[in-house]
Amino acid sequence: MVRFIIIRLLQTLVALVGIAVLIFTMVRVSGDPALMLATATSTAEDIQQIRVNLGLDKSIPEQFWIFVTDVIRGDMGESLFKKKPVTEMIGAALPNTIRLAIPSFVVAMSGALLLGVMSATRRDSILDNIVKFIAVMGQALPGFWVAIVAVYFFSVMWKLLPTSGVGGIDHYVLPVCTLAFFLLPGMMRLVRSSMLDVLDSEYIKLARIKGLPERTVIWKHALRNALIGPLTVAGVLLAGLITGAVITETVFSWPGIGWIMVEGVMARDFPLVQAITMLVAAIVLGVNLLVDITYAYIDPQIRYQRM
Amino acid sequence: MSDVILKVENLQTSFFTRAGEFKAVGGVSFEIHEGETFGLVGESACGKTVTGLSLLRLLPEPAGQIVGGKIILDGINILELHKEEMRNIRGKKISMILQDPMTSLNPVYTIGDQIAEPIRQHQGIQDRNELVDEVISALRFLQIPAPEQRIHDYPFQMSGGMRQRVVGSIAMSCRPRLLIADEPTTALDATIQAQYLALFKSIQEQTDIGILFITHDFGVVADMCHRVAVMYAGKILETASTSTIFKAPLHPYTVALINSVPRLDQKVDRLYSIEGQPPSLLNLPPGCRFAPRCPDVMDICHEQQPKEVQVDDGHSVSCWKVS
Amino acid sequence: MQDTVATIEIAPKPAAHGMTRRARIVRSSTFFIPVIILTLIVLVAIFAPLLAPYNPVKISLTDRLMPPFFAEGGSTEHFLGTDKLGRDVLSRLIFGARISLSVSLLVILITSAIGTMLGIIGGYLGGRTEAFLMRITDICLSFPAILVAMLLAVSMGPSFTTVVLAVSVLGWAPYARLIRGETLKLRDADFVAQARIIGSSPVRIMLRHIFPNIVNPLTIIMTLQVGLLIIVEASLSFLGVGIPPPEPSWGNMVNDGRNLIDTAWWISTFPGIAIALVVLSGNFLGDWLRDKLDPKLRQL
């Protein structure tokens, strides 16, 4: 198991470096970023000055080296438009995103587990059909649209909840529900189909033959095996969470890293965008590593084999 | 004659699907005594496994339903019990061994955990040490070596034969009255198979347990079973002691089945097989179900179902030729 | 069918002649309705210039914020109303179809080609190659396309090309993973062993034996991706990193109407409905295809 962790850790680090290279390349893919920042009235000297400020006058490998060492030191440069250190901006925004993401994830996960298991165990019942309907609608309706419609009904028409910004519990309700909406239908579908597969297996039949209560059969025997499937796509779910967070923060003007990133794109603030991308890449890789370890823990076959 | 543990009277089980009603078991009756191994033989899809599942009331719902008959276990008709009461019977009074040891055990729990479950459930033992003792003794009962270490193993760490013994341990852990063995040795090697069957014979001697042995293998029948019932398309065609079935079978189907088993001491040019296919369980013929394939068929066979006739002590047949 | 009595499914899907008329109608409608809808939308996209009553980017400040014809204050001149710059919503919807579908189709072509190729190569060759490719695939799968799109938008500026590129960079991963799975199943098949015995090269085996057998699951994935990509593009355009205004995309149309949702609900609503319709049709069609071609592929 330890060997497994170490190998995975090394792979993660390699991937991180690879992504750094990619990010670095992508930002410079169109040629000269300095030209984008130039205005119509900039002279050639102005443009050259911008280049120097951004360190673009140095050779590419040199630039990359500076980039890497900066990242390690924690210096991601300065935002071009807010004139503040990028790390400071991220530091302020990240907690907001976490405050949004965690409750949403918990809501979505518990809802998905509950509904997925119940619908799998009561096939073709009314509940099952409702769950199937939610799954279909959840995939078809774009999240941003649902968010806007929700804002219309709950904030504008019925004036129950605020339209945007951070604040007390009432400010949390719509954004959390919106972000949960991004996640819940997909998760629920996974849990349900995984449960259906597991419930058909021989060892479940044996569990019933033993005379165990149905409750134990479902929640102890079936669920633990059923969770292995969805866990393998946890990475994809995380991507969905991030995407959903960006959109949710934008709709509700929630000052998290999604929102400042979108604003950064609008303003062509590439140090900021670059930095956030690196951060998210690190988070994604980190979470994937954790998931791999958890998966190894749950499924004893992986734990005992040399991987 | 020892006591009757199980008496099945005219059991009928059907599967209701969009295509119609599959009459999987169309009226089956038999008895199993203490210390007796009763074999249920037949081709695939003759209804023998469904019979076994019906005894535990574990048919896949909502399609599978027991539509008639009685199942009397130690004097009580278990078809009249509530779900909760039935659950107490499962694992405690009746238990079952499934065919495939590879998929019968839950891969994410240790075998110790899985054996402990029915013990905890039915005998109410909560204390961990006591449970471990019981599990170890259950493993010993099935002659699994080094049980103290084994309880921490996962199923994938064991061979097929060993796993099947674990399944046996689970089944025997609460000392049931009746064991249903559904083709337990089909997935095992021939040598392991022999060991396993010998093991069960000795268990039966120790505990006086009744065994319903479901199989399609006459060799195993000859080895294990005291009495046998031959099943076809959901009905029992002939019931007799094992020696009678082999030496003096009466029903044409039984005769054909026994002839189908290749023999070492006879040289044959062609292997004997029965022509035709079993009937569809959706559209059953009005008469005897074997009539379309029977070499001794008469007119009445197509029209009416034959009644069960007692030929001798313990030997009964359902065939127009006999009655 | 011999030994299925004891393992009969709860409600197996029998051949058509065993079903009730009602069930048959429902089942075939899950094919016909989506196909009709999708065909219509494709036709609309192709013939957009002929069908749209107005120029989608033409501004007309006198006709601003007109409601659809069925609401008060609306007229049949602007069937679905106009937006805040007086542009006809119906025309924008029609041209938006064109743009959204173009992005999706282009991305599907690019990603399916790359993904299938890598999936077959990885699945067939196995070993380190496979392990390496699968790691990359896993990373791409868990990386949100939105980030890549934003990164590219910052450097290249939002445009049609940027969107296609951004989504394609990661979008090949689902194909790679699933096709690799299918290839693994085929790798051990007898006809592949046969081909190896007679000395066929790996490339030949992959092209001639493996590829034709994965066409079915590939088609299913591609159909299911249509809906997904429409939403991805719409989301990107909604945020402003997709198709830039004034070009209409269903996504940026929803964004246009965002702050006017209480006074001019039609600007955001109609594009949302359009998106949902296409996605639903694509998904139903994909499910139908999967049931027809191979119900065992449920995890798709």
pLDDT digits (tens, 9 = 90+) for A198-253: 888 888 888 888 888 888 888 888 888 887 777 777 778 888 899 899 999 988 88
Cβ contact (<8 Å) for C272 and A30?
no
C13: in domain? no
Alpha helices in A29-85 (DSSP H): 33-37, 44-54, 60-73
- Bond from prior residue into B262 cis (ω within 30 degrees of 0): no
Measured in angstroms, the CA of C139 and the nearest CA of chain B are apart by 27
User: Percent of chain A scored above 70 by pLDDT?
Assistant: 83
Task: List pLDDT tens digits, range A110-138.
Answer: 999 889 888 888 877 888 888 888 888 88
Cβ contact (<8 Å) for C23 and B47?
no
- H/E run at residue B94: strand B94-97
CATH code for the domain in which residue C95 is found: 1.10.3720.10
Evaluate if residue C75 carries a pLDDT over 90.
no
The answer to whether the beta carbons of residues A272 and A78 sit under 8 Å apart is no
Range of the domain at C135: 53-299
pLDDT band, very low/low/confident/very high, at C217 (cuts 50, 70, 90) = confident
Instruction: Name the closest residue on chain B to residue A123, using Cα atoms.
Output: B62
- The helix/strand/coil state of A187 is helix
The one-letter amino acid code at C158 reads: P
What value does the mean pLDDT take over residues C145-155?
84
Cβ contact (<8 Å) for C2 and B45?
yes
Distance CA B224, CA B51 (A): 19
Domain B4-93+176-265 - what CATH class? Answer: alpha beta
Cβ contact (<8 Å) for C261 and A156?
yes
Instruction: Name the closest residue on chain B to residue A210, using Cα atoms.
Output: B91
C24: in domain? no
Dig out the tokens for A228 from the structure. Answer: 């292995």
Dig out the tokens for C183 from the structure. Answer: 């290839």
Residues 6+ positions from B248 with CB-CB distance below 8 Å: none
- Of A157-161, C28-32, C239-243, where does the model show the most confidence? C239-243
Instruction: Name the closest residue on chain B to residue A220, using Cα atoms.
Output: B109
What integer pLDDT is reported at residue C4 of this predicted model? 33
Cβ contact (<8 Å) for B106 and A207?
yes
Cβ contact (<8 Å) for B90 and A210?
yes
Cβ contact (<8 Å) for B91 and A211?
yes
Evaluate if residue A270 carries a pLDDT over 80.
no
Residues present in chain B in total? 323
Task: List pLDDT tens digits, range C91-121.
Answer: 889 999 999 999 999 999 999 999 999 999 8
Structural domain count, chain C: 1
Give the torsion sign (CA, A80, A82, A88, A89). negative
Cβ contact (<8 Å) for B92 and A209?
no
C209: in domain? yes
For chain C, say whether B62 makes contact (Cβ under 8 Å): yes
Task: Compute and round to an integer the Cα radius of gyration of chain B.
Answer: 21
Distance CA B100, CA A206 (A): 11
Residues of C in contact with B19 (CB under 8 A): 12, 14, 18
For chain B, say whether A225 makes contact (Cβ under 8 Å): yes
- H/E run at residue A304: helix A300-304
Evaluate if residue A295 carries a pLDDT over 90.
no
Count Cα atoms within 13 angstroms, Cβ side, for C45: 21
Evaluate if residue C26 carries a pLDDT over 50.
yes
The one-letter amino acid code at A122 reads: R
Instruction: Name the closest residue on chain B to residue A124, using Cα atoms.
Output: B62
The answer to whether the beta carbons of residues B160 and B188 sit under 8 Å apart is yes
C246: in domain? yes
Evaluate if residue C297 carries a pLDDT over 60.
no
Residue to test with chain C: of B12, B16, B18, most C Cβ within 10 A = B18
Distance CA A15, CA B112 (A): 41
* Least confident span in A50-64, A148-162, B22-36, C220-234: A50-64
Cβ contact (<8 Å) for A205 and B58?
yes
- The helix/strand/coil state of B27 is strand
Task: List pLDDT tens digits, range C164-195.
Answer: 998 999 999 999 988 998 888 888 877 787 78
Evaluate if residue A163 carries a pLDDT over 60.
yes
Give me the residues paired with residue B228 across strands. B39, B240
Distance CA A40, CA A47 (A): 11
Domain locations in chain B as residue ranges? 4-93+176-265
What integer pLDDT is reported at residue A79 of this predicted model? 67
* pLDDT in 10s for each residue of chain B, 323 residues: 578 889 999 999 998 887 788 888 988 999 999 999 999 998 877 888 899 989 988 888 778 889 989 999 988 898 888 888 888 888 888 999 888 888 888 888 888 988 988 888 888 888 888 889 989 988 998 888 888 888 898 888 888 888 889 998 988 888 899 999 998 888 888 888 888 888 888 899 888 899 999 998 888 888 889 999 999 888 898 999 998 888 888 888 888 888 777 777 777 777 777 777 778 888 888 888 888 888 888 888 888 888 888 887 788 888 888 76
What integer pLDDT is reported at residue C300 of this predicted model? 44
Count Cα atoms within 13 angstroms, Cβ side, for C35: 7
What integer pLDDT is reported at residue B213 of this predicted model? 93
pLDDT band, very low/low/confident/very high, at A83 (cuts 50, 70, 90) = low
Distance CA A277, CA A271 (A): 10
147-176 of C, contacting A, C-beta below 8 A: 147-148, 150-157
For chain A, say whether B120 makes contact (Cβ under 8 Å): no
Q: Among candidates B225, B228, B219, which has minimal Cα distance to B316?
A: B228
Measured in angstroms, the CA of A204 and the nearest CA of chain C are apart by 14
What integer pLDDT is reported at residue C9 of this predicted model? 29
Measured in angstroms, the CA of A206 and the nearest CA of chain C are apart by 15
Count Cα atoms within 13 angstroms, Cβ side, for A227: 19
